[in-house]
Amino acid sequence: KSLPYFCRGEVVRGFGRGSKELGIPTANFPVSVVDHLPADIGTGIYYGWACVGNGDVFKMVMSIGWNPYYKNTKKSMETHVIHTFKEDFYGEILSVVMVGYIRPERSYDSLEALIAAINNDIEEAKLKLELPEHLKLKEDNFFTSVT
């Protein structure tokens, strides 16, 4: 299968679904990056490592879903980096390695339920990424070869 999966691309504007208002901003990849996703990486929530530009490598959770802008014909990839940044980083290069799968996408009855689910995902990602086989990916040359 295709995990771990390495990719990088410019951070583009999303659809203002208000992720930031929920306290969980998600950096969106452009279609060019999404188009390269292997077919066996389905929709759902993934965890892994991410870095912005030449910055530090942090834990991340990523949602892969259907992109409403393209009438749900293309996937979207939205990464929440588990770190508090001082500023937005639109236009910068985001590098990620997707390491594992957490759960399928689903809809929630309330905003509170959605936020609780995402916070569970973040806790699961933090724990899983401490496994030695996952920690070693944080040091991968992929993250030091950003120009």
Active-site annotation, residues? 78
Q: How many residues bind ligand ADP (CB under 6 A)?
A: 19
Amino acid at 88: D
Comparing CB distances to ligand ADP, the nearer of 26 and 67 is 26
Q: Shortest CA distance to 60 belongs to which of 51, 68, 69?
A: 51
**Minimum gap (Å) between residue 139 Cβ and ligand ADP:** 21
19 binds Mg ion (CB under 5 A): yes
Q: How many residues bind Mg ion (CB under 5 A)?
A: 5
**Chain centre to alpha carbon of residue 130:** 18
In the shown chain, the binding pattern of residues 17 to 46 toward ligand ADP, with x for contact by CB under 6 A and - for none, equals x-xx----xxxx------------------
What is the length of the chain?
A: 147
Tokens describing residue 98:
């997707």
CB 11 within 8 A of CB 91: yes
Within residues 33-62, the interface with Mg ion by CB under 5 A covers none
Strand 75-81 relative to strand 44-52: parallel, antiparallel, unpaired? unpaired
**Minimum gap (Å) between residue 69 Cβ and ligand ADP:** 11
**Minimum gap (Å) between residue 135 Cβ and ligand ADP:** 20
**In the set 9, 11, 24, 26, which binds Mg ion (CB under 5 A)?**
26
Q: Which residue has the tokens 């990916």?
A: 137
Strand partners, 65: 76
